Amino acid sequence: MAFPETRLRRLRQTPGIRRMVRETTLSVDDVILPFFVREGISQPHPIASLEGHAQWPARAVVEEAKAVADLGIPAVLLFGVPDRKDAVASSAYAADAVVCRAVEGIKQARPELTVVTDVCLCAYTDHGHCGVVRQGPRGAPIVDNDSSLELIVKQAVAHARAGADVVAPSDMMDGRVGAIRTGLDHAGLTDVAIMAYSAKHASAFYGPFRDAAGSAPQFGDRTAYQMDPANGREALREIELDVEEGADIVMVKPALAYLDVIRMAAETFAVPLAAYNVSGEYAMVKAAAARGWVDEKRAAMEILTAIRRAGAKLIITYWAKDVVRWLSAR
């Protein structure tokens, strides 16, 4: 039956009916809030490129995490901003690493808040790359895969020993998930889960984050390890390998320009799927909203709902606290 008998507008007539037939929902249970913990500061430093976010001293982040837990947000994702950087990212896996201190404080104050830590060397290396740099066969420096793994495993184990519930490797080295799983298991940390940044693309949308974490590469770019934004089928291979290596949760990143990849991943794999609504996606809306060009709440909820509609269960988003407020105001 077609028009005029069929009228799809019938089910759009009232808020009640629209609610009943709504196909996708966004819940506070779906969001993870990123946090930046900075060594050597005593007051929070607001991040200009990520309005509403700050670099927190390890002590203050505990207070902030309590507030987040009280809002009902299930998890935070911690990034460290160290004082000292060197060629081998020493501050990434030191027992007193800034992330470890924050994890300890948060888990003590709010054991029920799930603490996820970003595992990557880029904020800790003086060259800003996600692994160890050495001279390549063609004379130019390269990021060495296998020697990076060792350091990444040390970092993941340090975070887990400090009490992290989940470690999230974002470096895109081959074999890191398997190496981390083995490292954790050998350390007796068999219950610590791995959320792998499996399909992480070399994206322009990480710009504001690199200001926040001080992690911009000092030469070249990340295209020799992060994925080509043009590739979706390869994303499935990355995810497949991570699942085989023991990833408990897999991720597609960024989210907004990669909804097709999220959809394919959701249809192909049964592991829980996360998507990272990255800094540039947030900053774009914030900048347009500041000029009155879009309504922030509507734009953000539309984006986050679309990421859920594409098939992601979890969304890492800088809007996590706003989402709680917006959902309760409905």
Q: Which of residues 8-37 bind ligand PBG (CB under 6 A)?
A: none
Residue choice 75, 120, 152, 273 for contact with ligand PBG (CB under 6 A): 120
Q: Which of residues 160-189 bind ligand PBG (CB under 6 A)?
A: 170
- Other CB atoms within 10 A of residue 10 CB: 8
Is 154 in the active site? no
Per the listing, tokens 């007539």 go with 13
Instruction: State how far the Cα of 325 lies from the Cα of 73, in Å rounded to an integer.
Output: 11
Residue 209 engages ligand PBG in binding (rule: CB under 6 A): yes
**Amino acid of residue 210:** R
Minimum Å distance from CB 170 to ligand PBG?
4
3-class secondary-structure state, position 200: strand
**Catalytic-role residue among 253, 286, 313, 321:** 253
- Other CB atoms within 10 A of residue 134 CB: 12
The phi, psi pair for 166, rounded to 5°, reads -140, 135
User: Taking contact as CB under 6 A, which single stretch among the options 16-24, 209-217, 307-315, 321-329 is the one that binds ligand PBG?
Assistant: 209-217
Instruction: State how far the Cα of 42 lies from the Cα of 31, in Å rounded to an integer.
Output: 28
Q: Residue 286 gets which letter from DSSP?
A: H
Residue choice 37, 65, 130, 167 for contact with ligand PBG (CB under 6 A): 130
Residue choice 64, 118, 165, 245 for contact with ligand PBG (CB under 6 A): 118
Is 200 in the active site? yes
Residue choice 35, 56, 93, 206 for contact with ligand PBG (CB under 6 A): 206
Minimum Å distance from CB 51 to ligand PBG?
13
Minimum Å distance from CB 118 to ligand PBG?
5
Output the CA–CA distances (angstroms, integers) from residue 77 to 8, 49, 107, 315, 318, in the order listed: 42, 18, 13, 11, 10
Q: Report cis status (omega within 30 of 0) of the bond before 4.
A: yes
User: Taking contact as CB under 6 A, which single stretch among the options 19-27, 175-183, 203-211, 237-245 is the one that binds ligand PBG?
Assistant: 203-211
User: Which helix (H) or strand (E) element contains residue 9?
Assistant: none
The phi, psi pair for 327, rounded to 5°, reads -70, -35
User: Taking contact as CB under 6 A, which single stretch among the options 58-66, 115-123, 151-159, 302-310 is the one that binds ligand PBG?
Assistant: 115-123
Active site amino acids: 200, 253
* Interaction site with ligand PBG (CB under 6 A): 118, 120, 122, 130, 170, 206, 209-210, 215, 278-279
